Chains A and B, each alone.
Chain A
Amino acid sequence: MYQKPQLKHIENEVLFPLVKQLLLEGRDATLTPQGNSMQPFIRGGVDTVVLRKMPDVREGDIVLFCLPEEKFILHRLIRVEGEELTFMGDGNLRGEEHCTKADVLGTVVLIRSPKGRHKPTHRWWRLWQWLLPVRWLLLKVDRHAFRHEKFRFYRKWFK
């Protein structure tokens, strides 16, 4: 019955319906996304994001949306064509997701590193998108620099 305070991993299909409900009530939700698909802008399992239901979305927003079969994804909105939205993860090399504005649950309004530093949500995204042909290399360098002691100055930027 009793549980000590602890870090708990909650499955997406459990967590996000509640997140969705809270966002619809007009409240903000803070959580720690998992996975590498938004690297280097969001470090999975490390950075926390604040989500809010905004009246509208625009290109460059990092958006939480829902695909059929309750699949919840947090990716960068790269194209808006009327009601049609196209997404791509900053840490992905290929693969786009498509949905409509009705499938949007919320927008990232803040990215916070573990040290409490606020990271930019929109800055550099166009440049990052433009650098897609060499993204594989940038991601590789980023991963390497983030892991190795020799480059701890790099890690410091993200704390």
Chain B
Amino acid sequence: MKIRNGFSLRPLGNEFILLAESVELVDFNKMLTLNESAAYLYNHVVGKEFDEAELVRLLLEEYEVSEELATADVKKLVESWQSAGILA
């Protein structure tokens, strides 16, 4: 999988939001927020082909979590990215 082109990650307080660059109207009521770790993953895989295993590896590299937890979280994250339509 790959992250679609045309998004930009912008800081919003201590989180990040994903904005579609081409859209004229930015709706703050429908917005994908990414916390720090999700933003870390986003920044490392944007523009590249990646899979869930790659995300898990990245998480384990940066954070002290068990592999099970990382795998479970990555699964949910990918689901949320998929339903938000940012994955190609």
Name A's B-contacting residues (CB within 8 A).
1-5, 8, 10-11, 14-15, 18-19, 22, 27-32, 48, 50
Contacts and interface: CB of A to CB of B under 8 A. Distances in A.
Contacts of B85: none
A1 B26 contact: no
Interface of B: 10, 12-13, 17, 19, 23-29, 33, 35, 37-38, 59, 73, 76-77, 80
B10 A18 contact: yes
Nearest to B70: A1
A18 B26 CA distance: 11
A3 B80 contact: yes
Given A10-B13, A14-B12, A1 B25 contact: no
Given A14-B12, A18-B10, A18-B12, A30 B25 contact: yes
A1 B37 contact: yes
B25 A14 contact: no
Given A10-B12, A14-B12, A2 B28 contact: no
Given A2-B77, A2-B80, A3-B80, A22 B26 contact: yes
A92 B11 CA distance: 33
20 contacts: A1-B35, A1-B38, A1-B77, A2-B76, A5-B80, A8-B33, A10-B13, A15-B12, A18-B12, A19-B28, A22-B19, A27-B23, A27-B25, A27-B26, A28-B25, A29-B27, A29-B28, A30-B26, A30-B28, A32-B29
